Chains A and B, each alone.
Chain A
């Protein structure tokens, strides 16, 4: 695994009118690693992710994928030419379509990327092997899947798109922590194998620190801390970030052990 920077953000700013959601964020994600953006609600985590995906405008700021600046590109170009794939929070599957149709939409992108010269990393069969439950339900409507299964579907679809940089917004939202851990346990190998780099945004700090190897703490749109997950776990500023919600980190860590 090389230590190339798959994704690097330099002085990223995102504003909604006069509201500055993200201010001067610098961060980088090493190839094949999983990096987490944590912080309380309103800290600017989602906005950062959306700026990288291309939903929001980064003004000013640079977004580099393997050294190439994508900040001026349309979302579609980011996906096809640079493999920047977003898994939005909440409803990120097409519920009126079947499981297979959802996956087809992902595969379509993978094929387009392959045609543009980027190696395909995933086939439909591999996706079904990874998540057998999807195979069982392949002709069923996505609406019928449970929350966890929908998340699996979203991930499988994203993998079919041959991602290089995977952006995940709140993977644990609405799911039991055990399930999230299980899914990601499987995913970690896949990511490492295919050199997929992940930037995820998480509200639940303890899960974030379990899944990721690196974490950036955001408060009011700025990065206030960055280190490896282990160090973060021991950092008291994290507790401060949760503004007197008690020993939030200690509590959730305990719950996590159950």
Chain B
């Protein structure tokens, strides 16, 4: 019983990471119709910005966090303005490759700045672990899970209830129709990217707090999960991404425990392949994107 719960907890932590990164990715995919591979790098940028601000510049933690999160949101917008916006949608391949390029640039640039090392961090938020029924719940992990639930829940509610959320859903479903009802799609896309990047930045920070390392190339392992969650859940489905992300984490955790760690990274891939063959719009996707 004890083991079960601790695997479950580990799985939820893992899954939370996946959710935080997949949410933004699927949001962007829904609204823009493009798979922004570079999104995972916002996650990484936030933690490095935090490190830079707090250690090199020596600013207090609160400021460092704030700046890191804002920097993350801005980074996404900058990439959109500088690159994505300038390549017309009628060249989807070039657009996609450009995201690969941006990712490559950002990762290698950061890596060079830290001499291709992997710095470790001091925990940002620490607390005494809670022990329930013999199982240890560490502070950072709880925080990670809590932040995930709050962000995912907040996003879902916002999309359903707010005016801007409605506009976003409209553009996601049918960009042409959105233009027909005079929605400024460009503005909506920017809002979506800002939100997506903000979430990814928060994600990077809470996960960094839990893992205590910063890896410039983390996107290479994370993006596999990002794609898998988004594809399995379905284009633009935020609630679905939350469920699928957490589930993937849990499944992976139990797989590692009972079958060995080499299978961990195959699950997401297999799930993705199966979904693409059997139900391409994803488990929770209701309609294949029009246009």
Contact = CB atoms under 8 A, between A and B. Distances in A.
Interface of A: 53, 55, 75-76, 79-80, 85-86, 88, 91-97, 101, 104-106, 108-109, 112, 143, 157, 161
A215 B78 CA distance: 51
24 contacts: A55-B176, A75-B182, A76-B182, A76-B183, A79-B182, A80-B182, A86-B180, A88-B177, A91-B174, A91-B177, A92-B180, A93-B177, A94-B174, A94-B177, A95-B173, A95-B287, A96-B169, A96-B173, A97-B169, A97-B173, A105-B181, A108-B163, A109-B182, A143-B286
Contacts of B170: 94, 97, 105
A55 B181 CA distance: 13
Interface of B: 163, 166, 169-170, 173-174, 176-177, 179-184, 286-287, 290
Contacts, number: 57
A43 B169 CA distance: 35
A76 B171 CA distance: 14
Given A75-B182, A79-B180, A92-B180, 12 more contacts: A75-B179, A75-B180, A76-B183, A79-B181, A79-B182, A88-B180, A91-B290, A93-B177, A96-B169, A97-B170, A108-B163, A108-B181
B181 A161 contact: yes
Nearest to B172: A96
Contacts of B176: 55, 88
A94 B179 CA distance: 12
Q: Which of B163, B173, B180 has the most CB of A within 10 A?
A: B180
A104 B167 CA distance: 10
Given A97-B166, A104-B166, A105-B166, A157 B181 contact: yes
Contacts of A101: 166
Contacts of A55: 176, 179
A53 B290 CA distance: 19
A106 B178 CA distance: 10
